[in-house]
Amino acid sequence: MGGMNFELTEDQELIRRSVAELARKFDDQYWMEKDQAHEFPTEFYRAIADGGWLGMTIPTEYGGHGLGITEATILLEEVAKSGGAMNAASSIHLSIFGMQPVVVHGSDDLKARTLPAVATGEVHVCFGVTEPGAGLDTSRITTFAKRDGDRYIVNGRKVWISKAMESDKILLLTRTQSYDEVTKKTDGMTLFLTDLDRSRVDIRPIRKMGRNAVSSNELFIDNLEVPVEDRVGEEGKGFQYILDGLNPERMLIAAEALGIGRVALEKAVKYGNEREVFGRPIGMNQGLQFPLADSLARLDAAELMLRKATWLYDNGKPCGREANTAKYLCADAGFTAADRALQTHGGMGYAEEYHITRYFREARLMKIAPVSQEMILNFLGANVLKLPRSY
């Protein structure tokens, strides 16, 4: 790809249109019902899988399309924008790009055994990193994998594990050396892609504010046996491997937040045009029109930063600054748009039937997950501005 170009390619535009068409078959009512019933959106997941979209970034030799992060963000933005918001995005998020550490560092055998089934949607995967005693300080994880011949025995706890209820496999980060044994605190961690054996892993859903069609869970791991063949790459290098996936994850989350902001703004504009008070549409009032126009500007600016970040990544250039900035701006713009959409609807915005409350709850999540806005500012302050690190 050459220099600056702000247009999607024909193929990217086709992806956008096709995904939008597919996702819109699942309307707001569908998502409201799934959310209220705390029920996984199986029909939506199958439709995306049958369309061949799940494996879009998995290499072609393992049943995927070998596309880039740009295409993945286009897909997830459209999925969120369809009204599915985070319930839709989270149901497929990990399959879309989360297997990247396995693609880059996994053995040929591990890739051949797992990636084709992820690409077809036959196998659900969850990502096991976060622990109760180690939030964003990943070096403090204590889940331990002890080598025993040709296998590892794993014990520990994980928390906030999305989709564990539905998952067949888990991409699991463990310690193989304790924190006190290593000189560099991020050493001694090992990554596995292994079966989520229900007889050894107790999975308990966490009750939460929103995005309830996709569970978030606490995992209690008790003597889980993991064959050495399920290890991703080398022992002790797990943290470095998951770092490869962190910038792309920032971008995917940014795209999802952007999509929610877009659909919320769309709904607000529609209501502003239709709702009449004092004999005129409420959208005529600047007190209502200006915040919506401001949200449009903020969403557009955030989208540009996201496009730059994905272009850099797909062209093999450093993108930490841009990926983090995109997540920061998109999360902020997306939530602000949802908040303003609620305000525009007045009392009706608080009623479930208008769906704005669902967008509001799910857009709010983007400011804390998978990394908080404050941690992004920490990263930009210390790593980009080179100010003294505060943590």
pLDDT tens digit string along 167-215? 999 999 999 999 999 999 999 999 999 999 999 999 999 999 999 999 9
Q: List all residues 6 or more positions away from 28 whose beta carbon is below 8 Å from its beta carbon.
A: 83, 355, 358
Is the pLDDT score of 353 beyond 90?
A: yes
User: Whats the size of the chain, residue-wise?
Assistant: 391
Architecture of domain 10-120: Orthogonal Bundle (1.10)
CATH of 245-384, one of 1.10.357.10, 3.40.640.10, 3.40.1410.10, 1.20.140.10: 1.20.140.10
Instruction: Give exposure, 259-290, as e/b (b: 16+ Cβ within 10 Å).
Output: bbbbbbbebbbebbeeeeeeeeebbeeeebee
Provide the total of helices (H) and of strands (E) in the chain, helices listed first: 12, 10
Count of CB atoms within 10 A of residue 202's CB?
Answer: 13
Count of CB atoms within 10 A of residue 2's CB?
Answer: 4
User: pLDDT tens, 222-259?
Assistant: 999 999 999 999 999 999 999 888 999 999 999 999 99
Is the pLDDT score of 303 beyond 90?
A: yes
Is the pLDDT score of 153 beyond 90?
A: yes
Is the pLDDT score of 1 beyond 60?
A: no
Residue range 139-166: mean pLDDT, rounded? 98
Note the helical H segments in 24-107. Answer: 28-37, 42-50, 69-79, 85-93, 100-105
Q: List all residues 6 or more positions away from 12 whose beta carbon is below 8 Å from its beta carbon.
A: 70, 71, 74
What pLDDT was estimated at residue 3? 78
- pTM greater than 0.85: yes
Backbone angles phi, psi at 320, to 5 degrees: -60, -45
Cis amide bond preceding 281, omega within 30: no
Closest residue by Cα to residue 261 from 346, 370, 364: 364
Asked whether the beta carbons of 68 and 248 are under 8 A apart, the reply is no
Confidence of residue 135 (pLDDT cuts 50, 70, 90): confident
Confidence of residue 2 (pLDDT cuts 50, 70, 90): low
How far is the CA of 331 from the CAs of 141, 376, 386, in angstroms?
27, 11, 24
Is the pLDDT score of 391 beyond 90?
A: no
Question: What are the beta bridge partners of residue 172?
Answer: 128, 192
User: pLDDT tens, 36-74?
Assistant: 999 999 999 999 999 999 999 999 999 999 999 999 999
Q: Domain boundaries in the chain? A: 10-120, 125-239, 245-384
Percent of the chain, pLDDT > 90? 97
Q: Which residue is it, tokens 């995927």?
A: 64
Which fold would CATH assign to domain 125-239? Butyryl-CoA Dehydrogenase, subunit A; domain 2 (2.40.110)
Confidence of residue 4 (pLDDT cuts 50, 70, 90): confident
Tell me the average pLDDT of the chain. Answer: 97
Residue range 361-385: mean pLDDT, rounded? 97
Is the pLDDT score of 300 beyond 80?
A: yes
What pLDDT was estimated at residue 184? 97
User: pLDDT tens, 246-292?
Assistant: 999 999 999 999 999 999 999 999 999 999 999 999 999 999 999 99
